[in-house]
Structure 1
Amino acid sequence: MSATSASTHIQHLPVSRIRRNPNNPRKGRNAERYEHFKQSVMAQGILQPILVRPIEGDPEHDFEIVAGETRWQAATDCAIDLIPALVRAMSDEEARIAAAVENIQRADMTPIEEANAAAELLRQTGNDHDEVMRLLGWSRTKLNARILLTHASEAVAQALVAGQIKLGHAELLCPLGHADQDMVVAKIVEQGMSIAEARERLLKLTRRLDQARFDTGGCTGCVHNSSAYADLFDTSVGNGQCQNVTCWSAKVAAHLEQCLVEAKAEHGVVYRSDELPADGYQTIVTDGAKGVGHEQAAACRSCASYGAVVSARNGEEGKVTGRYCFNPTCHGEMVAAYQAAVNAAAQAAPAPATPSHGAAPAAAAGAPAGQPAKGPSKPRTLRTPLRKVAHKAQVQLAHRFMVSHAAYGYAQAISSVVQDIGKDVAPGLTDKILKAAGVPERPAMAKARVAWIADLARLDEAKLLALLAKLSALALCRTVAQDDFDHSEAAMLAAEVIGRNSLDPLDVFVVDAEYLNLLTKDELLAECAAAGFDSAYEAAHGKGAFKKMVGASKVKELVQTLLAPLEGFSWQGHLPAFLKPAAPKGADAAPSSQSEAA
């Protein structure tokens, strides 16, 4: 059986030709409610269609459930042959997101199930909180509350599901460590504490000043500092207790805010730990079973999903930990790719042998010792400031070329005319004219369309419109909306022109203060290593000088040092990795002298 790729009407499909979704976020169902539902199905049939997607390579099934597995199971149990369904072509990721959204929006999910499903959605969307809120129709408050539940210990989660505690109890306990959660929840259940009673008891706990993460200079002499009563109680100054939890909480909150501000100046992306699901991010390492390789680890530093976490956990407030990837799906792919490269390199390695006289070691031609040879690594998605730099350089480079090569101008003009006039003329007329000229239809999708334009530019100029090179080149100067530097037509056309004609980004890009001030400290260090600045600095100032200078410098100070004159070093000729041209797809034919003159 076949189906259209995007059916919008209800079809009745054989139940036996539909298979379960192996990634269904719903792991169980209420037995009593399911029995009542089956009785309803026996009486009335399946009233609400399920959502399925076409599949290939399975001789026993034509479709896979995206949403509606309970309805499908009831139809199977009730021996119903056909089931109403909407058929929609979806990728694995789209199907997982749709299934998670559909299940969360059902009324009978427990808060813990909602928390786990929300965490899965965050994983699928690369921790895009705004997108998850949009998909679920949730407020920021509700999403944050469910994320907090993913930090619950097993004992707290079980007590909540069993009805021994309420949601408010769990939210009070989740900021604590798991050992403390287990101890406190046992007391709450044992003594039958209400939420208000549990909150009051937790608030009355004193705090040790010697363990405070904030500056306690103002706490000396405070009437709420138990050390003020050292003459009455056997309490040392070092172990003074703060007995004003309201003041303590305010100081912690202010400290966290300050830590976030400072961390954002040093790292590209920063989250508080309680804004992320448990295990919702991964440490980027170079080697071992979870390694991604040195080259990929360096490339990840400029990714929009790379950054640091500021801890909000009790006793660790404000602690900053970096080198995290907030896109677990991408991280898993990079780990798998690197491990595959390691295994392939190990299998292909020849038996040890004494090299012939004058022969270079095998490792010299490829990656560093112990590293498998692999293609160039790049971040999955560049940070927005760096994407802006890349977009600007691409557009400048492609614009310069298009202005001086009339054929590209003519091709862009044809595309614009077809788009603008095609809406106001008889259907198919523009396509008929193109066909008569031996030109295929103008594609609807942008990615295919820019290749079509580039192909047009290879035709004889006599077949193309004249004198429109400069006007057509204005297509590259459109304002990019919402920082969409990667998917705008102007950006993709610029990249196509640059790639096909091997244009050199060094013609328009220079390393200057405007560029360097966009970088995080990690990115600056990566640029120093790639350009050889660190080695030149060591040569000029002595061994260890670069590391010492970096440790003592904030980002702005480091930028000033990098731009100061340094003997034996120049940034001239250096290109960031994200601006280096990709492998050529097949260069365009050499331009004619007439085009060069234009």
Structure 2
Amino acid sequence: MAAKKGLGKGLDSLIPSKPIESAKEVSDQNAVENAKAMVSIDKIEPNAEQPRKAFDEDALMELADSIKQHGVLSPLWVHEVKNGKDSYYEIIAGERRWRAAKKAGLKEVPVIVMNLSEQEIVEISLIENIQREDLNPIEEALAYKKLLDEFNLKQDEVAERVSKSRTAVTNSMRLLKLDERVQQMVIDEMLSTGHARAILGITDKDKQYDFAQRVFDEKLSVRDVEKEVKRLQNEKDSDKVKEPKIDPRLEAIYAELQEQMKKTLGTKVTIVPKDNKKGRVEIEYYSQDELDRIVGLFQSIRHE
């Protein structure tokens, strides 16, 4: 099955063995190089499903100036889309180069035509952008969610394909729990990923947005946000039960234990003490697959 390719091993490993122009097996890089072609820029369209949505106009103009002098040095990866008698090429990787080439006034650009499944196209677009660090945190999270939801991949499988840890994928997707207005602030670089993750401690969406605006206006650091979110959480908890006094020495021990359990379980773990002798342990999960995996870990421990 094509989707089993080593997608996390770099873009070179993704070059398929069958370009669309030929049914003949292509077994090495030289054969793929020979499959390059010059295509009219007007016959190429961007992929509406590609993860990256935002493009820096100043950076595009710089690239366009370079292309005017040197041309497009790296071919675009495309696949052919049939539309009745007509056809066009949809971009798999290289939309930034395509946009810059249009600004530079080029009539043709070099392409490699590839024959890939829809899932492979999504994965390649995601991997290329991650490797180039072109995606903002929300675009990256949405791309992971697409692989999970539309292609029924598990988080471990997604992590393997993009050469990320499963925890990194999970933490990325947590950002989608933010209010959409806060997500937009992350896209607009008004908030860092660290700020956004700290704001996740506030569950009410309107309060998230109000607090995010305050973070931006007051230029609060991530550490300041974490402290303030914790204070707000404590205020909320104190409306129900007076916060217990915990031995400071135990707090340091609990923090270390939380980190150890987080590494073991691969997800966020919180120790919530009621007093110096008892309390509870909270383990977060972000999908049914995640819950099944955690339960499986406990069951394997019980049977040892």
Shared fold per TM-score greater than 0.5: yes
Q: 1:250 to 1:75 in 2, by over 3 A?
A: same
Residue aligning to 2:4: none
1:325-404 paired onto structure 2 within 5 Å: none
The answer as to whether partners of 2:80 and 2:87 remain within 8 angstroms in 1 is no
Unaligned runs of 5+ in 2: 1-19, 27-31, 255-268, 274-278, 292-304
* CA shift for structure 1 position 58: 4.4
* CA shift for structure 1 position 102: 2.1
1:189-208 paired onto structure 2 within 5 Å: 189-204=216-231, 205-206=233-234
The answer as to whether partners of 1:151 and 1:174 remain within 8 angstroms in 2 is yes
**1:14 matched to 2:15:** no
Q: 1:308 to 1:95 in 2, by over 3 A?
A: closer
* CA shift for structure 1 position 196: 1.4
Residue aligning to 2:210: 183
Q: 1:48 to 1:309 in 2, by over 3 A?
A: closer
In structure 2, the residue corresponding to 1:251 is in which secondary structure? strand
* CA shift for structure 1 position 249: 4.3
Structure 2 distance, partners of 1:82, 1:58, is 23
The answer as to whether partners of 2:51 and 2:135 remain within 8 angstroms in 1 is no
Residue aligning to 1:170: 196
* CA shift for structure 1 position 308: 8.1
The answer as to whether partners of 2:195 and 2:225 remain within 8 angstroms in 1 is yes
In structure 1, the residue corresponding to 2:178 is in which secondary structure? coil
Structure 2 distance, partners of 1:39, 1:185, is 38
The answer as to whether partners of 1:156 and 1:182 remain within 8 angstroms in 2 is yes
The answer as to whether partners of 1:18 and 1:63 remain within 8 angstroms in 2 is yes
Greater relative CO, 1 or 2 (CA 8 Å, sep 6+): 2
Structure 1 distance, partners of 2:270, 2:88, is 58
* CA shift for structure 1 position 69: 1.8
**1:91 matched to 2:109:** no
1:479-518 paired onto structure 2 within 5 Å: none
Residue aligning to 2:9: none
**1:109 matched to 2:135:** yes
Structure 1 distance, partners of 2:148, 2:212, is 28
Structure 2 distance, partners of 1:157, 1:13, is 39
Aligned to 1:3, which of 11, 21, 25? 21
The answer as to whether partners of 1:121 and 1:132 remain within 8 angstroms in 2 is yes
Structure 1 distance, partners of 2:225, 2:86, is 55
Q: 1:243 to 1:249 in 2, by over 3 A?
A: farther
2:22 is aligned with what amino acid? Answer: T
Aligned to 1:70, which of 79, 96, 99? 96
**1:241 matched to 2:237:** no
In structure 1, the residue corresponding to 2:37 is in which secondary structure? strand
Structure 2 distance, partners of 1:20, 1:200, is 43
In structure 2, the residue corresponding to 1:108 is in which secondary structure? coil
Structure 1 distance, partners of 2:84, 2:70, is 32
Q: 1:147 to 1:198 in 2, by over 3 A?
A: same
The answer as to whether partners of 1:19 and 1:64 remain within 8 angstroms in 2 is yes
In structure 2, the residue corresponding to 1:143 is in which secondary structure? helix
2:94 is aligned with what amino acid? Answer: G
**1:48 matched to 2:74:** yes
In structure 2, the residue corresponding to 1:22 is in which secondary structure? coil
In structure 2, the residue corresponding to 1:35 is in which secondary structure? helix
* CA shift for structure 1 position 170: 0.7
1:193 is aligned with what amino acid? Answer: L
Residue aligning to 1:396: none
| RMSD, aligned α-carbons | 3.2
Q: 1:244 to 1:131 in 2, by over 3 A?
A: farther
The answer as to whether partners of 1:118 and 1:132 remain within 8 angstroms in 2 is yes
Q: 1:118 to 1:308 in 2, by over 3 A?
A: closer
TM-score normalised to structure 1 length: 0.36
Equivalent residue pairs, number: 237
Specify which structure has the higher proportion of strand.
2
2:44 is aligned with what amino acid? Answer: I
Q: 1:29 to 1:190 in 2, by over 3 A?
A: closer
Q: What do residues 275-324 of structure 1 show as CA deviations (whole Å, max 9, x unaligned)?
A: 34xxxxxxxxxxxxxxxxxxxxxxxxxxxxxx5887xxxxxxxxxxxxxx
In structure 2, the residue corresponding to 1:95 is in which secondary structure? helix
Structure 1 or 2, whichever has the larger Rg, is 1
The answer as to whether partners of 2:270 and 2:281 remain within 8 angstroms in 1 is no
**1:132 matched to 2:158:** yes
1:375-454 paired onto structure 2 within 5 Å: none
Structure 2 distance, partners of 1:242, 1:169, is 26
In structure 2, the residue corresponding to 1:250 is in which secondary structure? strand
The answer as to whether partners of 2:44 and 2:88 remain within 8 angstroms in 1 is yes
Structure 1 distance, partners of 2:160, 2:154, is 10
**1:146 matched to 2:146:** no
Q: What do residues 417-475 of structure 1 show as CA deviations (whole Å, max 9, x unaligned)?
A: xxxxxxxxxxxxxxxxxxxxxxxxxxxxxxxxxxxxxxxxxxxxxxxxxxxxxxxxxxx
In structure 2, the residue corresponding to 1:14 is in which secondary structure? strand
The answer as to whether partners of 1:125 and 1:131 remain within 8 angstroms in 2 is no
1:18 is aligned with what amino acid? Answer: I
1:170-319 paired onto structure 2 within 5 Å: 170-177=196-203, 178-204=205-231, 205-206=233-234, 239-243=240-244, 249-251=270-272, 254-257=280-283, 272-273=284-285, 275-276=286-287
Structure 1 distance, partners of 2:270, 2:184, is 29
Structure 2 distance, partners of 1:95, 1:175, is 35
In structure 2, the residue corresponding to 1:84 is in which secondary structure? strand
Work out the percentage of aligned pairs sharing the same amino acid: 22
* CA shift for structure 1 position 208: 6.2
Structure 2 distance, partners of 1:13, 1:57, is 21
* CA shift for structure 1 position 77: 3.9
Q: What do residues 303-354 of structure 1 show as CA deviations (whole Å, max 9, x unaligned)?
A: xxxx5887xxxxxxxxxxxxxxxxxxxxxxxxxxxxxxxxxxxxxxxxxxxx
Structure 1 distance, partners of 2:121, 2:179, is 30
Q: What do residues 500-541 of structure 1 show as CA deviations (whole Å, max 9, x unaligned)?
A: xxxxxxxxxxxxxxxxxxxxxxxxxxxxxxxxxxxxxxxxxx
1:450-469 paired onto structure 2 within 5 Å: none
* CA shift for structure 1 position 175: 3.8
* CA shift for structure 1 position 207: 6.1
Q: 1:181 to 1:107 in 2, by over 3 A?
A: same
* CA shift for structure 1 position 40: 0.8
The answer as to whether partners of 1:13 and 1:85 remain within 8 angstroms in 2 is yes
Unaligned runs of 5+ in 1: 210-225, 227-234, 258-271, 277-306, 311-598
The answer as to whether partners of 1:3 and 1:54 remain within 8 angstroms in 2 is no
Structure 2 distance, partners of 1:179, 1:84, is 48
